[in-house]
C-alpha cells in the first residue's frame, strides 16, 4: 500500500493511507499514513459501526491538510469488537438447521447433506469466480476424484481457480451461516468452517493433494493459500475430529 503512495504522490496526487502493519509503513515511508490497531482484513474497523468507521476515515483524510511530512500517525483506539472480544451477529431471516454432528460417509455425501442442511448457495450473492456453489463443488471434487482439472473457467489457470473457488465457497458458507438461527461471531467462523464442516475438510484434502504437486502454482496454492496458518496451528494443537479423505479414509496431516 505504501508503495502506491509513493507512486501516486510522484504523479502529483496527494495521498493518505491506512496502515495495518506499522513496521512495514515505517520501512516504506509513504507520504501520509494512519496506523490502526485493527484486525487484518478490517482497515476501517468493525462492520456496521458507522460512527467508528467515519472517525477512522476522517482522521486519515485530515492528514492531507498537514503542512509537511512524511507523517505516520497512530489511531488512538482499538476497534470496539476487538476491545470487547465479541461481535454481535447480524440479524437475518432464520433458515435451515445447523448440523451438530458430521454425517458419516464419503466427503461427497457429507458435503451434499451439509450444503442442503445449511442451504449453501441459496441466499444469492456475487462470487469472484462467477461460479455457483454446486459448480465449485463439482470442480473441486472432480479434481480430487479423477486427478483431472475440468475447469469451468478455461481463461483462468486451473490452480488459481481452485484458490478462488475455495474463497468463494467460504463466502457462501458465511452467508449461509448468517441466515441460521445461531449465526457465529466473526472470530468463530474460521474455526467452525475449517474444523467442523465437510467443506473445510475438502480444502484440507485439496491442501494435501496440491502441496506435493509438480506444478509450482499448485504447490503454492496448496501449501499457503487454501488453509489459514492460524487454522493449521489450531488443528495441530487441538484436533476436533478425525482428518479423513474423500472416501472416508484417514489421511496424514501436514504439519
Partner 1 sequence: MARLEGLPGPIREHLEHLACPSFDRTPWVTGGPLSGRRIAIVSTAGIHAKGDAPFIGFADEFRIIPGQIRPDDLVMSHISANFDRTGFYRDPNVVFPLQRLKDLADQGIIGAVADRHYSFMGATDPLRLEAAAGIVAAHMHAEGVDGVLLVPV
The nearer residue to partner 1, 22 or 138, going by C-beta atoms, is 22
Least CB distance to partner 1 at residue 241 (A): 21
The nearer residue to partner 1, 9 or 119, going by C-beta atoms, is 9
The nearer residue to partner 1, 117 or 167, going by C-beta atoms, is 167
Which of 62, 174, 156, 64 shows the shortest CA–CA distance to 118?
174
What CA–CA distance (Å, rounded) separates 190 from 186?
8
Cβ-Cβ contacts under 8 Å for 29 (sequence gap 6 or more): 2, 70, 72
Grid coordinates given for 10 = 510522484
Q: Which of residues 208-247 bind partner 1 (CB under 8 A)?
A: 217, 224-230, 233
Window of 54-62, 103-111, 136-144, 238-246 that interacts with partner 1 by CB under 8 A: 54-62
Contact pattern from residue 99 through residue 118 relative to partner 1, giving x for each residue in contact according to CB under 8 A and a dash for the rest: --------------------
The nearer residue to partner 1, 28 or 141, going by C-beta atoms, is 28
Least CB distance to partner 1 at residue 213 (A): 15
What CA–CA distance (Å, rounded) separates 157 from 220?
13
Which of 249, 247, 253, 251 shows the shortest CA–CA distance to 110?
247
Q: Which of residues 164-203 bind partner 1 (CB under 8 A)?
A: 164, 167, 170-171, 174-175, 178, 186, 189-190
Q: What is the 3-state secondary structure (H, E, C) of 181-202?
A: CCCCCHHHHHHHHHHHCHHHHH
Coil, strand or helix at 73: strand
Assess 93 for contact with partner 1 (CB under 8 A). Answer: no
Binding residue count for partner 1, defined by CB under 8 A:
89
Window of 57-65, 110-118, 135-143, 208-216 that interacts with partner 1 by CB under 8 A: 57-65
Q: Which of residues 60-79 bind partner 1 (CB under 8 A)?
A: 60-62, 64-65, 67-70, 78-79
First to last CA, the chain: 32
Amino acid at each position: 500500500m505504501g508503495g502506491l503512495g509513493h507512486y501516486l504522490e510522484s504523479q502529483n496526487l496527494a495521498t493518505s493511507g491506512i496502515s495495518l502493519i506499522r513496521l512495514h509503513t515505517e520501512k516504506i515511508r509513504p507520504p501520509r499514513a494512519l496506523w490502526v490497531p485493527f484486525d487484518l482484513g478490517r482497515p476501517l474497523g468493525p462492520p456496521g459501526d458507522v460512527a467508528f468507521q467515519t472517525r477512522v476515515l476522517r482522521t486519515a483524510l485530515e492528514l492531507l491538510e498537514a503542512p509537511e511530512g512524511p507523517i505516520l500517525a497512530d489511531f488512538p483506539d482499538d476497534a470496539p469488537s476487538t476491545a470487547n472480544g465479541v461481535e454481535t451477529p447480524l440479524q437475518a431471516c432464520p433458515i435451515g438447521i445447523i448440523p451438530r454432528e458430521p454425517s458419516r460417509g464419503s466427503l461427497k455425501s457429507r458435503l451434499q447433506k451439509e450444503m442442503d442442511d445449511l442451504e449453501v448457495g441459496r441466499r444469492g450473492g456475487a462470487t469472484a469466480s462467477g461460479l455457483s456453489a454446486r459448480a465449485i463443488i463439482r470442480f473441486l471434487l472432480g479434481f480430487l476424484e479423477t486427478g483431472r482439472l475440468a475447469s469451468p473457467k478455461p481463461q483462468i489457470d486451473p490452480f488459481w481457480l481452485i484458490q478462488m473457488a475455495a474463497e468463494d465457497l467460504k463466502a457462501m458458507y458465511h452467508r449461509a451461516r448468517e441466515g441460521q438461527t445461531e449465526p457465529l461471531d466473526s472470530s468463530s467462523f474460521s474455526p467452525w468452517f475449517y474444523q467442523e464442516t465437510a467443506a473445510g475438510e475438502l480444502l484440507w484434502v485439496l491442501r494435501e493433494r496440491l502441496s506435493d504437486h509438480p506444478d509450482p502454482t499448485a504447490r503454492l496454492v496448496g501449501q499457503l493459500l487454501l488453509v489459514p496458518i492460524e487454522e493449521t496451528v489450531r488443528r495441530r494443537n487441538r484436533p476436533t475430529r478425525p482428518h479423513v479423505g474423500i472416501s472416508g479414509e484417514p489421511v496424514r496431516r501436514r504439519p
